[in-house]
Structure formats: C-alpha cells, structure tokens
Amino acid sequence: MVSARKAFDMTAMKWWGWGPEGVQFTHEDKPDLAPFITEVLGIAIGKPTEKPVPFDDLTIPPSNVPDGLRADLDAALGTAFVSVDPLDRVVHARGKSLRDLILQRRGELSRVPDVVARPGSEDEVTVLMQAAVIWDAVVIPFGGGSSISGSLEAAAGEARPVISVDLERLNKVLAIDSSSRLARVQAGVFGPDLEEQLATQGYTFGHFPDSFEHSTLGGWIATRSSGMQSDRYGDIADLTRGLRVVTPSGMLVVRAVPATATGPSVREMVLGSEGRLGIITEATVHVRPIPERRTILGYLFPTWADGLGAMRDIAASECSVSVTRVSDPHETQFSFASRVRPTVLDKLQSRALRIFLQRRLGYDLDQMCLSFIGYEGSEHHVAHQRRAVGKLVKRHGGLCIGSGPGALYDQKKFDIPHIRDFLLDRGAPGDVSETAMPWSRLLPVYDAVSAAASGAFAEVRVQGYLMCHLSHSYHSGACLYFTFAFRPTARGDLLAEYDVVKSAIQQAFVDNGATLSHHHAVGTEHARWLEQDISSPGVEMLRALFDGTDPRGRLNPGKIVSAGEQAPEPDRQRRPEALYPDDWGDLSPAGGNLPASGE
Amino acid sequence: MVSARKAFDMTAMKWWGWGPEGVQFTHEDKPDLAPFITEVLGIAIGKPTEKPVPFDDLTIPPSNVPDGLRADLDAALGTAFVSVDPLDRVVHARGKSLRDLILQRRGELSRVPDVVARPGSEDEVTVLMQAAVIWDAVVIPFGGGSSISGSLEAAAGEARPVISVDLERLNKVLAIDSSSRLARVQAGVFGPDLEEQLATQGYTFGHFPDSFEHSTLGGWIATRSSGMQSDRYGDIADLTRGLRVVTPSGMLVVRAVPATATGPSVREMVLGSEGRLGIITEATVHVRPIPERRTILGYLFPTWADGLGAMRDIAASECSVSVTRVSDPHETQFSFASRVRPTVLDKLQSRALRIFLQRRLGYDLDQMCLSFIGYEGSEHHVAHQRRAVGKLVKRHGGLCIGSGPGALYDQKKFDIPHIRDFLLDRGAPGDVSETAMPWSRLLPVYDAVSAAASGAFAEVRVQGYLMCHLSHSYHSGACLYFTFAFRPTARGDLLAEYDVVKSAIQQAFVDNGATLSHHHAVGTEHARWLEQDISSPGVEMLRALFDGTDPRGRLNPGKIVSAGEQAPEPDRQRRPEALYPDDWGDLSPAGGNLPASGE
C-alpha cells in the first residue's frame, strides 16, 4: 500500500439521468446556444417541458433473494453492504444509454436486480461468486453505471436471483512500481479518485473518457474504453498489463508482463468482456510521471478534408502528440454556439478573425473546421512538437488560434453527457455513435453516415442534426465520433424514431468497412451488428469462450452475444464471404482520398 | 494487385537442421571462436564429429490418405500441389526446436504427415478444409517450418489422416493503401520476399525475427512473433490489423480497423493460435515508407545493471529508437570471440580501446557489456535521437563505439539459428529461451535463471555456459533472451540432459514473475508451464475457445493446451491463488532495483 488515500466523495448518479442529483447542463450562460438549437432542430429552448415520473410512482418489482443467499451475502460482506433498497436497486438496473434514459424517465423499469452487493475485498468477491454458484444467481458487475450500450441490464425474463455487484469499495491504488512505471490498482476506483491517488506519488494514468467522473477502471477494461489523450497514453487495452478476475472456477491471474507469446491473449479476452468471464477486481496498469507541460492548442482548417488530412499526416510523421481532434463544419458551428458568455472583446476578436479568415485566407466560414491538438512532456519536447505539427497544419491551410479555445475545451470536456438530459428535458433525443476505420475510409464512411442519417430523419419525418469529430488517431486510421439529435414527431414513439436514426448510423458503419464501436462496447444495444462486423465465425468464437467458461450462463448473460441462440454446428460447409475491404483495387497507390500534405 | 512480384527463390530447409542444404555456420573465419568454445564448454572445435543418419536409412511410415481425400485434394489443388513424397513429408513433420533437431538427426521420426498440400488460393484452402471435414482429417498449417516450440508435429498416436498445409504459394502483396499505410498480404509470404515486394513501392514491414529468412507472415501471426526492430515497428500483434482465416465453419474475417470495442478481441485470439482456430490466409498489416536513414550504433557499459538501467531510461524517455539490445558479460565475451577475421588495425584499435576503458573509465573488462541501439527516420530525427540517447547512456557510464559493430551485427543477425547445428555437429546441445517481465524484475529473473542453469548443469554433471541479452524494451518492461549450451556427458542421454537444463530455465521464468515465452509461442514444448503462467482459469478459457470452435479436434490438435485432459467442471469452488506479483510491497517507491539515471 503505497498511497495514503483520501476518501473520495462519490455520489451515485440519478436513477433517470447523467451525473448526481442537482448537477445539470445549462444553456443560460451560453447566449448563442438556444437560437442555434432552435434553428437546427426547430425546438424552442426555455425551461424544461418534460420530467421523469416521480420515483414514488414507480412500480418496483419486489426483491427476490432466497433467504440462504441473503444470509451468505450478509455473512460475507456485512449487512451494511448488502442492499435491497428500492432506489439502490433502480439505480443499478440500467446504464445510461439514451434508451435507458428514455425508459427510466417513463418509469418503464427493466428486470431490476434483486440485491446490490458491495464487496470490500477480493476475498469477499470470491465468496460472493461462490454464493452465486450455490444459489444459482446471476452476477452483473457494476462500476460507475455509465454504460451506454446496455451492458448492465438483466434479461427481461430472468427467473434466477440477480445480484448487481457494485465495486465502489475496491478503490485503492495498492502499489506503484516506479521502475516499471506500473501501478496495481483495484478495479472499482473512479477516474478522479484514481488520478488523485496517483498524483500524490507524482504519477498520472492519463485515461480521460467523456465518462471519466462517473466510470471506473474495471468498467473501462470491461468495455475497451478510450480516453481523450489516448493518442499519447494508449487505449485501455494498451494501458492494462496485469489482471485479476474472480471467476466461478477460481482466480484468473494475468501476469503484468509487457508482452507474451502464450497463445491467444487471455488479457485481451478479459478486455471488453463486460462481466461475461467474471468480475475484474484488480489491474496492473501503466502509469507515467505527471508531465512538466500539458497544453491543448486550437486550430482552424478551411475544410473537413483538410482537417482530416492534417491529422493523418501528423499520425504518419515523427511527431508525438496527446490529442488529435477535428470537428466537421456542423460540430464546429455547434462549438462556436456553445461559447460561455463571450465578452465584448471576445466578440470583436472573433469578428476580426472571421474577416481575416475570409479575406486573407479565403476560408468559406460554413466549411471551416475547429481542431484541437494536445502536447505533453518536457518544455523542450512540447515546443519542438508544436513547431513540427505547425508545419503540417500549414500545409493543409490550417491556422493556430492559440491555447484559449483548448483550455476551454479541456474544462468543458466532461459536460457532454449531460446534454442528452438537457435535450430530453425538452422532449428531444440526442445521442452518439462512434466508430473506427482506415484513413482511406474516413470520408466514405462520413459521407455514408451523413446520407444514412438524412435518410432516417426523412423516413421518420423529423428535423434532425448530425455532427462529427475525429477523436483519436492511429497509425492506420482514426475514430470518427458522431453526435445526432432531432425534434421528434408529436404523435410518434420517441424511442422508435430514435431507433430508426441510431440503427441507420450503425448500419452505415458496418456496411462501409468501419467497426460498430470504437470504445463504447457491444452490450445489448450494439449486439445486432456484431456478426456483420466480426463475421459469423468470430461470433462463434466469442460464444464458445463464454459458453465454455460459464456453461450455466450466470455471468452477465446475454451481453455481447445472445445466450438464446444455439451455436451453429461448426462443421457445416460454407463458402467464404465477400472480401473485405473489397474496394482496395480502386485506391490510387499514391495516396488514397485524403488531400496529400502540400504536394 | 499493386505489386509486380518477382519470383522468390525459396528453398526448403534441411530435414534435420536449419537453413537449406549446403548453408551452414563456420568458425573458420572467426579465429577466436574455437578457443573460446573450448574454454567455456570444454569441447574441441574441429571438423564435425556427428552426422544425421542418412535419409535413406530412415523408416518413414507409409502415407495414409483415403482415396477419396486424395481425389478431393487433387481435384481442388491439382496433383502437382498434393505431395506424398517421403522427403517432403519428413521436412513437414516437425519444426526446428533443439528437440526436433536431435530426434531428426537420430532418425527418430514423429507422426509424419500423410500428405503435404500446397493450395494456391484462399478458395483452395476452403475446399481443402471442407475435404478435411468430410474425410475427418487433421489439418496442420505450415509456413516456413521454423517453429522451435513443437507447433508443427502431429500427435504420436494420431489415427486420422494428417494434412500438412504448406502456404508457400500464397505469397503476394495484394494491395497497398498508402493513405492508411496498410498492405493486404497473403499469409504464406516469406520475410525476404515480403520486404522485396514492398520495397518496389517504397515500403517496409519492418519485422525481422531471427528466423526472418525462413519464416512467413502467417507463421509470425500464429506464434506472436517479435522482430529485431519491434521497438519501433511493434510486435506482430501491433502490426496486424485485418485477418482472413479459413475455419471449418466458414471465413473468419477481422476488419482492418485501427481499434475496436467489439468484445473480447477476435483479432487477438487468432494471434498466437498456432493453427488451432483455422488457417490464416491473409492479413492486413501496417507498412511504413522505407526510412531515409537507418543505423545501429554500438555501445559499451561498465556493468549489466548499467546497461539494463540505460535501456529502461531510454524506454521511459521522450526518445524513439528502433533497437535496444544489451548483452550480459557472458554474451559480450562470446560476441568479441565471434569477430570475423579481425585485421591488425582492428586488433590495435581493440587493444587501445581496452586500455582506455580500463585506465580512463575504470571498467572491469570481465563485467563490461556490449549494446546496440538502432535509429530510423529522417536524418534530422536520427541525429536528434542519437544525441538524446547519448546523454542517457553517459549517465550510466556507457560509451558509444560507433557504427562498425552495429553494421556487423546487422549483417550477422540471421546466422544465430545455424549455430545450434554447428554445435550438434560436435555433439553439444545449444538452445535459447526468452521471456519478458517488468523492469523491476529483470535482475531478479536474470539471477534466478543463472542459478537455475548452474544448478541444472551441476545436476547432470556437465560443463555449460549461459548467456543473455535484453532484446526488446517496452513501457513497463523488457524481453530477456537467454542462450545456453553444454558439453553432454559421455554416457547420458543428450535429450534428457538438455531437458533438465531447458526445464530449469523455463521454471525459473514462471517462478519469478516472468512469462514462459516472449515470442516463441507455446506449441507442445512450452505447454507444461502454461498454467503456471496464465493460471488455471486462463487455460480453461483457451480450452473453451478451441474445443467450442473445433469440437472434433481437427485443427492442429494438442498444441498450446492438451486435448486429452477434460476441462474441469467450471463451477467447482476454489480459493484464489496467491497474489501476483506478491513482492511489490518490498519495492522502494523511489525506483525499483535498477540503477537510477545519474541520481
């Protein structure tokens, strides 16, 4: 135990929305936002018009815990950590997908867990697992409850007792090996608490997903999370070396080695397993000394293709950066409309900048794209990288607008999930879908998603808005992160209309060579596209893994691959599917379809 | 089809040794080597004293191919590509582990495959797989045949027909997506052929394992290979994005996306699968433009701990290098003894250097360690990295000795596997074992392996030599690569004595927090340590994956996890195993056990 831990003031999120009670997004300090939303969605933004049903009006099914199971849990964990409190059970019944939010607000509860258990040690998790086996209960691990893929909800007809295992008490940094830049950390620690504990020793983990304030290390691992600075630190799959997982057949221990050739990677089976292989209790993860300097600079690009081309060229260069982000023109306009109380000086500068961009640089302001690029390290390193990146940006017609917008972005970065509640309060659904693909596929996927969303908006006859940013760059490709919202019809079913739009976007991903999710996992909400993404034998491999290690289906059943369907007879004869990607033959060997850097 | 491919002159390796007939290691141009080996092993190095039995004396079991299977293969592949030739079958019967070499030389053949099939397309592989299902045959994919873990040998008692599927005809770079820096490549391409095809387009793959000349892309993927420049390019697991695998239940297609959150990684299940999930026919892999400048510099360090400390500090710095390698004093002395015909000038310089090191720098020449650090990229980048690395080296008392030794190392780098044959020709076994571990564990593991090898040499009463180098650096740790040889007893069984030494080293790995293999896979020879490395539930997960997707055990059965043993009842109650690593509490928070840089 290296770290002297400061108690963390974690407050459970609302049972119907993001963040703790009393914390919400507001437009009142953003004078341009209401007019913008009114224009693009046709919604008047005033006070909230919609409210969740009162908690007291909910019909909460009674808790179904056999006395023996209850006694075993009480004995192992202590009665204070075995809860059948109705609010506690409802909070643990679902994650925070838009579907979850809509249904919870309506009071349409899911199969609410029968009991919420809060083990205080790995040994207690083990005893809990043994009790679940003895009493034939279903076990659903719960970190921050921020899943937006339906990973936390028990199956509607589940007849067995359902235990939601909340890991919040496993929240300590156990040891730091400074020579190896590794830390042993309990899986239930929340993002801010983890950073706080590491900071006392001079370290950072560097993993900052949008959900950072309300998600845990174990949750990040179980869902293959990615953070805002993953360009530098790596995704959670890169950051996680060792693992300890309580399974029904004992402790799964993955050694914290930097690399290994011991067959298919067991480490990579736990990553993204969403509780289907056991309960992650501990991980040994990369840490780094807090950098001397951290900065995020704002840039503008004349077009989306220029912005994407610059990010690709940075990824292909000898530069190392911590953030690569560029918004399409729609999201750029949203960002400008979201500015907090601009001063008169801000407005003058902004007007001067617009004139400069139009008259001197020939920008079309409707096509202009806002970008953020982050730098970390020694002063010397940061200065060197800024200069090198600056040259690449310039080749794509880009312009640095300084550190002000970046600092603002850095402050506001965890606000985004609150906006869904803000819109639902006004009757409008808004959600996100993200994907990854090779660089050469970025524009085709973007165009396909734009067309799919437009088609879906038209199909359900709604006014909608779609915007996008590139959020992560890799050697061979990037993540595109789409946000959409619409004004629902007066008489239609909000959820059905949402589903048409969300499905059209996801379908466009898998139809165009992209993956169904870059960092939001599969759960139940993405499961229907899984076979199109990883192919039928890929689904069969996952099913073999889950069914073989958990034949009774007690570990968060139904997530990622459905439990109902039998695995097909593996010896059946089938011809190979179409080649993927099947259109490479058309690519110019000289450079794909993004503008080349200054050539 | 982007690349105009030049036919590649691949010659099959000897049935009893490394490399094609007529190519062998010689000591005759290395005047110091024979005296060195005589000193450390007590073996007189002259002409070979031992020979493999003549091929004509082998008792080769008859080929057991049902007529219908033969007819189906002939129809699908063409008779020219379906071989029951005895030499062809014997060449495909085993890989090149030391055990393989000893047994082949003795004429103790394994369960020789019944037929060697050489499909020319993915469709032909599919038809072959269907024929294997219909005729209940076992399928063992074969790349270059360079496995040193027993991955290619059929089980001794295998009663079903055994097909060795040699992928050598699937040897083309199909397309290059230069925007994404990705290439679609057929899995059977050999290292030199791959680099040649890519070079015509200005690209390199950058993967250079010791086996480079005699191994294939598919083999690298199936065994989780690592190359000499993987510090820069990444291990094969990093380089491989998309995959196409022929399975009994259809085409497994992993999309070439840069990242994904679609559950446990199917991509990472194929990596290291050694044929147990199907036959890899194609991969989409990272490529990079051939760098402007490539150089490997030699360095000397006063001690092993200093050399390791410097490598760790480079990994933790803002430097980017392509090779980090440092030899222990034993391997350093071997390297100096292996110099090719030093000129009088070389000798004078060497003597002057020794005097300088001893008198001016205070080196103890018996403790001195030779190191190589590689640099790649633009001239500017290389110069900048050299300077930055130079400072770190200096802090650990190191000295740059220029590019001469590095160039020599670069030329000789593929010679190493030939030395095992050279020693066996003189009756002595020599072999390698490699592992990876956190930086803080390097010295403890090294000491434990040294003690284990000494103990094993004493146990079997042989004179032996153990040497080691760090071969790859990562954020949190490194690979240690051990080489050992000994003079066997006159009356004992060479193989039994070898097994005592090899087992002691492997056992020291898993007993001391290291992994059983960093890049040589599991096969059959490492399988007995697997459970100690990845824990019992980890083995059960692999077994569930293999048994669930291949219930009839037709896909290279018995590799990685044994087929014989039944999977244990997964619901049995078991207490967690001991914590790993259990000794972190003792680590100083300030820096582990490697010397800190200049503090």
Shortest Cα distance, chain B CAs vs residue A212, angstroms: 17
What does the pLDDT average to over A5-13?
51
Q: Which domains does chain A have, with CATH numbers?
A: 33-166 (3.30.43.10), 173-289 (3.30.465.10), 293-412 (3.30.70.3450), 536-585 (no CATH)
Q: Name the least confident of A34-48, A399-413, A441-455, B266-280.
A: A399-413
pLDDT tens digits, one per residue of A495-507: 999 999 999 999 9
B592–A180 C-beta distance less than 8 A: yes
In chain B, residues 530-569 whose CB comes closer than 8 Å to chain A: 530, 533-538, 540-545, 547-552, 560-561, 567-569
**Is B258 touching A (CB cutoff 8 A)?**
yes
Look over chain B and give the mean of its residue pLDDT values, rounded to a whole number.
Answer: 91
Q: Could you give the 3-state DSSP secondary structure of residue A282?
A: strand
Residue carrying structure tokens 């194929």: B270
ipTM of the complex: 0.94
Q: How many CB pairs under 8 A join A and B?
A: 438
Predicted confidence (pLDDT) at residue A533 exceeds the cutoff of 50: yes
Contact B241, A499 (CB under 8 A): no
A126–B592 C-beta distance less than 8 A: no
A550–B567 C-beta distance less than 8 A: no
Distance of CA A68 to the CA centre of its chain: 38
Q: Which residue has the higher pLDDT, B193 or A571?
A: B193
Shortest Cα distance, chain B CAs vs residue A543, angstroms: 8
Residues of B in contact with A150 (CB under 8 A): none
pLDDT at B572: 35
What does the pLDDT average to over B393-401?
96
pLDDT at B347: 79
Of B130, B180, B599, which to mutate for an interface test with A (greatest number of A Cβ within 10 Å)?
B180
Q: Which residue is catalytic, options B363, B375, B465, B481?
A: B481
In chain B, residues 3-32 whose CB comes closer than 8 Å to chain A: none
Predicted confidence (pLDDT) at residue A2 exceeds the cutoff of 70: no
In chain B, residues 468-507 whose CB comes closer than 8 Å to chain A: 472, 474-479
CA distance B245 to B248: 10
Q: How many CB atoms lie within 10 A of CB B271?
A: 28
The pair phi, psi for residue A325, each rounded to 5°, is: -145, 130
Task: Give helix then strand counts, H and E, for chain A.
Answer: 19, 18
**Is A436 touching B (CB cutoff 8 A)?**
yes
pLDDT at A276: 98
CA distance A383 to A388: 9
What does the pLDDT average to over B558-583?
51
**Is B283 touching A (CB cutoff 8 A)?**
no
B584–A262 C-beta distance less than 8 A: no
CA distance A214 to A11: 9
Find the CB nearest A257 among B174, B176, B437. B437
Local confidence band at B80 (pLDDT 50, 70, 90 cut-offs)? very high
Residues of A in contact with B2 (CB under 8 A): 589
Q: Name the least confident of A28-37, B165-174, B291-300, B551-560.
A: A28-37
Total-model pTM: 0.94
Find the CB nearest A178 among B265, B273, B591. B591
Local confidence band at A595 (pLDDT 50, 70, 90 cut-offs)? low
pLDDT at B219: 98
Local confidence band at B595 (pLDDT 50, 70, 90 cut-offs)? low
**Is B324 touching A (CB cutoff 8 A)?**
no
**Is A2 touching B (CB cutoff 8 A)?**
yes
In chain A, residues 359-398 whose CB comes closer than 8 Å to chain B: 377-378, 381
Shortest Cα distance, chain A CAs vs residue B335, angstroms: 27
Find the CB nearest A437 among B122, B257, B591. B257
Predicted confidence (pLDDT) at residue B2 exceeds the cutoff of 70: no
Q: Could you give the 3-state DSSP secondary structure of residue A399?
A: strand
| Nearest 10 degrees: Cα torsion B63, B69, B72, B74 | 0
Helices (H), A396-481: 404-412, 416-424, 442-459
Predicted confidence (pLDDT) at residue B9 exceeds the cutoff of 90: no
Q: Name the least confident of B134-148, B309-323, B402-416.
A: B402-416
Task: Give helix then strand counts, H and E, for chain B.
Answer: 19, 18
Residue B319's closest chain A neighbor by CA? A381
Shortest Cα distance, chain A CAs vs residue B594, angstroms: 7
Local confidence band at A10 (pLDDT 50, 70, 90 cut-offs)? very low
pLDDT at B349: 81
**Is B55 touching A (CB cutoff 8 A)?**
no
Q: Which amino acid is at B256?
A: A
Local confidence band at B472 (pLDDT 50, 70, 90 cut-offs)? very high
pLDDT at B1: 30
pLDDT at A11: 61
Residues of A in contact with B237 (CB under 8 A): 259, 265
pLDDT at A12: 83
Local confidence band at A340 (pLDDT 50, 70, 90 cut-offs)? confident
CA distance B438 to A259: 10
pLDDT tens digits, one per residue of B341-392: 777 778 778 888 889 999 999 999 999 999 999 999 999 999 999 999 999 9
Contact B521, A261 (CB under 8 A): yes
pLDDT at A5: 33
pLDDT at A521: 96
Residue B201's closest chain A neighbor by CA? A589
Shortest Cα distance, chain B CAs vs residue A47, angstroms: 37
What does the pLDDT average to over B314-328?
97
B260–A533 C-beta distance less than 8 A: yes
What does the pLDDT average to over B237-257?
97
DSSP state of A359: I
The pair phi, psi for residue A177, each rounded to 5°, is: -100, 95
pLDDT at A508: 98
**Is B232 touching A (CB cutoff 8 A)?**
no
Q: What percent of chain A has pLDDT over 90?
A: 83
Contact A287, A181 (CB under 8 A): yes
Q: Which residue has the higher pLDDT, B598 or A359?
A: A359
**Is B265 touching A (CB cutoff 8 A)?**
yes
pLDDT tens digits, one per residue of A199-254: 999 999 999 999 999 999 999 999 999 999 999 999 999 999 999 999 999 999 99
**Is A1 touching B (CB cutoff 8 A)?**
yes
Contact B25, B415 (CB under 8 A): yes
What does the pLDDT average to over A542-564?
92
Shortest Cα distance, chain A CAs vs residue B261, angstroms: 5
Local confidence band at B587 (pLDDT 50, 70, 90 cut-offs)? very low
Predicted confidence (pLDDT) at residue B479 exceeds the cutoff of 60: yes
A266–B538 C-beta distance less than 8 A: yes
Residue B174's closest chain A neighbor by CA? A585
CA distance A554 to A546: 10
Q: Regarding beta strands B162-166 and B115-117, do their DSSP bridges make them parallel or antiparallel, or are they unpaired?
A: parallel
Residues of B in contact with A587 (CB under 8 A): 175, 177-179
Catalytic residues of A: 481
Cis peptide before B429 (omega within 30 of 0): no
pLDDT at B563: 60
Residues of A in contact with B248 (CB under 8 A): 570-571
What does the pLDDT average to over B491-512?
96
pLDDT at B574: 37
**Is B201 touching A (CB cutoff 8 A)?**
yes
pLDDT tens digits, one per residue of A260-309: 999 999 999 999 999 999 999 999 999 999 999 999 999 999 999 999 99
What does the pLDDT average to over B507-535?
96
pLDDT at B166: 98
The pair phi, psi for residue A310, each rounded to 5°, is: -65, -40
Shortest Cα distance, chain B CAs vs residue A559, angstroms: 9
CA distance A522 to A511: 17
pLDDT at A347: 79
Predicted confidence (pLDDT) at residue A577 exceeds the cutoff of 50: no
DSSP state of A578: P
Q: Which amino acid is at A117?
A: A
Contact A325, A469 (CB under 8 A): yes
Shortest Cα distance, chain A CAs vs residue B519, angstroms: 5
Predicted confidence (pLDDT) at residue B569 exceeds the cutoff of 60: no
pLDDT at A571: 37
Residues of A in contact with B133 (CB under 8 A): 571, 573
- 3-state secondary structure string, A456-521? HHHHCCCEEEEEEEEEEECCCEEEEEEEEEEECCCCCCHHHHHHHHHHHHHHHHHHCCCCCCCCCC
B538–A251 C-beta distance less than 8 A: no
Contact B172, B186 (CB under 8 A): yes
User: Measuring CA to CA, which residue among B284, B164, B542, B7 is closest to residue A548?
Assistant: B542
Predicted confidence (pLDDT) at residue B584 exceeds the cutoff of 60: no
A534–B255 C-beta distance less than 8 A: yes
Record the tokens describing residue B144, joined without a space. Answer: 């270059």
CA distance A158 to A64: 11
What does the pLDDT average to over A144-153?
97
**Is B264 touching A (CB cutoff 8 A)?**
yes
pLDDT at A563: 61
pLDDT tens digits, one per residue of A78-97: 999 999 999 999 999 999 99
pLDDT tens digits, one per residue of B165-178: 999 999 999 999 99
CA distance A118 to A91: 14
Contact B113, B163 (CB under 8 A): yes
**Is B516 touching A (CB cutoff 8 A)?**
yes
Helices (H), B96-216: 98-106, 122-134, 191-199
B241–A476 C-beta distance less than 8 A: yes
What does the pLDDT average to over A171-191?
97
In the Cβ-directed half-sphere of A285, how many Cα atoms lie within 13 Å?
31
Residues of A in contact with B174 (CB under 8 A): 584
Residue A2's closest chain B neighbor by CA? B589
Look over chain A and give the mean of its residue pLDDT values, rounded to a whole number.
Answer: 91
Q: Regarding beta strands B138-142 and B203-204, do their DSSP bridges make them parallel or antiparallel, or are they unpaired?
A: unpaired
